[in-house]
Amino acid sequence: MKFVKILSASIFALLIISCNTNGQVPKNNAVKLVAPKGKAIAAFASGCFWCSEHIFEAVIGVDSAVSGYAGGTAVNPTYELVNTETTGHAETVLVYYNPKIITYEELVEVFFSSHDPTTPNQQGPDRGSSYRSVLFYQTDAEKTIAMNAIKKISSSNRFSKPIVTELATLKAFYRAEEYHQDFIAHNPNQSYVRAVSIPRFEKFKKTYKGKLKKGY
């Protein structure tokens, strides 16, 4: 299924490149890790960012989610480079939210309710370190919340296997190519979306106890 996803993304990339006057792949710009006034940001890696972006944007209190790359070493990584599994990046979503409506702690719950945190370097049919589970944090308070969440879940019977979610400081976030943004909304009938993304979202809706926006 990862092959199908890469193939589909490559086709979109070729279409974009064909419209680019210089024929070069546009670089991914590093996003400033500063939230707008009255807002906050948080980053999560939980497998395919097409799926993760769609899930977080459905939650009340979330303004938007941006697909991108975090946790690696290369500067301005491309989708194709990240998929070589050599840069250390994970497909990640940067979530912009209103802390007066939803807390970082609740977003962590969305994170754990929307993927399997027990599969090392894998989420569903997608395999490789770019699909690993990562809770990124920016402050000591966020780190404590993330650690407590992992500890609480690990001591429960919520998952039958040990949690392998990685904790990491959010040092940089690179926005993915534009054809990745809001991919599910723009491509609802794409094969990967229908076979993987939508079923994952429907499963999330059955397990998540928080509020979702109308239309989801």
Collapsing DSSP to helix, strand or coil, 156 comes out as: coil
Partners of residue 126 on adjacent β-strands: 123
CA–CA gap between residue 106 and residue 47 (Å, rounded): 19
CA–CA gap between residue 47 and residue 62 (Å, rounded): 19
CA end-to-end distance (rounded Å), the chain: 25
Secondary-structure breakdown of the chain: helix, strand, coil percentages, each rounded to the nearest 5: 40, 20, 40
Catalytic residue among 40, 48, 51, 193: 48
Residue 48: active-site member: yes
CA–CA gap between residue 199 and residue 216 (Å, rounded): 13
- Report residue 40: phi and psi, to 5°: -145, 165
Give how far the C-alpha of residue 127 lies from the chain's centroid of Cα atoms, to the nearest Å. Answer: 15
CA dihedral 18, 84, 55, 164 (to 10 degrees): -170
Burial profile 125-149: b = 16 or more Cβ within 10 angstroms, e = fewer: bbebbbbbbbbbbbeeebbebbeeb
Positions marked catalytic = 48
